[in-house]
């Protein structure tokens, strides 16, 4: 395992990171960055976390982190593991860095990264209790809540029924977490709404800097849309909102959608605030 180093990064580091984006200079840039050693790892990881980086440049950056066996890169590698164009390289890099020798199933790595059993053993009072998918539903909970509980069972996501909505506390990167709310509409009530689930997750205060991030992130977000709204306290904030129609509510869709919403919102929040706010 490569530990963090106190070495200063090379002065020409940014020069080579820019050239990593260009296919004509990528080979030379990767070679130069590799020669810098782990002193360049933090900067290369920040480069890889930029959602605007092209896939080939991202592959080159992550292969460097794998060469250095840079442990702080593991959460990003796990997040990128499902990407078709990166899957094989991410799997190889994860096993190289961690020595875990797990299969290429993203669920295996998410469980390895956020082991619920370990959290319960080290902090029984603070750990999220495991979901019981077979437990009776709360009396006022909709039928779709049972599917949500089944979908999130074993994922490390905390789920509770708050008498009108579902509250989820989702693990995110680097020991952060993200809160997601779900409102259930059980029947069509035209023209205002249709049956389904509306998800909300806050990303922090709506600052002037947020508008540029919001526009850029909405190009790549998988589910829903980032927008400015007001939270329960009436404060203006950025939130990620998504709607899942009743006809598309399945265990598989919920298992994919909820953690993805949380990760996208947490990533936006961290870029904007560099903190774990919500």
- Whether residue 225 contacts residue 123, with contact meaning beta carbons closer than 8 Å, is answered with no
Rounded Cα distance, 158 and 146, in Å: 14
Q: Which residues pair with 241 in a beta bridge?
A: 200, 225
Q: Is residue 189 packed enough to be buried (19+ CB in 10 Å), middle (13-18) or exposed (0-12)? A: exposed
Pair 64, 144 in one domain: no
pLDDT at 116 over 60: no
- Across the range 93-104, mean pLDDT stands at 87
- Which CATH number characterizes residue 130's domain? 3.30.1460.10
For residue 184, the tally of other CB atoms under 10 A from its CB is 19
- Across the range 190-204, mean pLDDT stands at 79
pTM of the model as a whole: 0.52
- Whether residue 202 contacts residue 228, with contact meaning beta carbons closer than 8 Å, is answered with no
Q: Which residues pair with 239 in a beta bridge?
A: 202, 227
The position carrying tokens 């009396």 is: 139
Per-residue CA distances from 165 to 138, 150, 183, 209, 234 (Å): 11, 17, 5, 31, 18
> What's the domain count of the chain?
2
In a domain, 278, yes or no: no
pLDDT at 125 over 70: no
Q: What are phi and psi of 100, to 5 degrees?
A: -75, -30
pLDDT in tens, 137-180: 788 888 899 999 999 988 888 888 888 889 998 888 777 788 99
In a domain, 7, yes or no: no
Pair 199, 103 in one domain: no
Domain that holds residue 268: 121-273
Pair 137, 98 in one domain: no
Q: CA Rg, the chain, in Å?
A: 20
* Average model confidence (pLDDT) across the chain: 81
What is the rounded end-to-end Cα distance, in angstroms, of the chain?
A: 32
């Amino acid at each position: 395992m490569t530990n963090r180093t106190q070495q200063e990064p090379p002065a020409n580091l940014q020069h080579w990171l820019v050239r990593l984006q260009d296919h004509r200079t990528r080979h030379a840039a990767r070679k130069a960055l590799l020669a810098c050693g782990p002193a360049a790892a933090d900067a290369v990881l920040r480069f890889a976390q930029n959602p605007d980086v092209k896939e080939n440049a991202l592959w080159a950056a992550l292969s460097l982190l794998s060469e250095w066996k840079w442990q702080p890169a593991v959460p990003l590698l796990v997040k990128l593991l499902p990407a078709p164009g990166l899957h094989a390289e991410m799997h190889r890099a994860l096993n190289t860095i961690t020595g875990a020798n797990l299969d290429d199933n993203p669920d295996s790595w998410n469980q390895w990264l956020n082991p619920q059993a370990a959290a319960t053993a080290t902090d029984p009072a603070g750990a999220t209790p495991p979901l019981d998918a077979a437990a009776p539903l709360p009396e006022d909970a909709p039928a779709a809540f049972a599917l949500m509980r089944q979908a999130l069972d074993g994922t490390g996501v905390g789920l509770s029924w708050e008498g009108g909505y579902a509250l989820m506390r989702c693990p995110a990167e680097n020991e952060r977490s993200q809160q997601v709310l779900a409102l259930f509409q059980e029947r069509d009530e035209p023209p205002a709404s249709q049956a389904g689930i509306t998800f909300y997750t806050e990303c922090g205060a709506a600052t002037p800097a947020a508008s540029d991030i919001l526009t850029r992130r909405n190009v790549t977000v998988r589910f829903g849309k980032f927008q400015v709204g007001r939270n329960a306290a009436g404060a203006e904030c950025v939130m990620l909102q998504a709607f899942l129609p009743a006809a598309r509510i399945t265990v598989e869709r919920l298992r994919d959608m909820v953690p993805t919403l949380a990760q996208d919102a947490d990533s936006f929040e961290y870029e904007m605030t560099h903190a774990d706010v919500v």
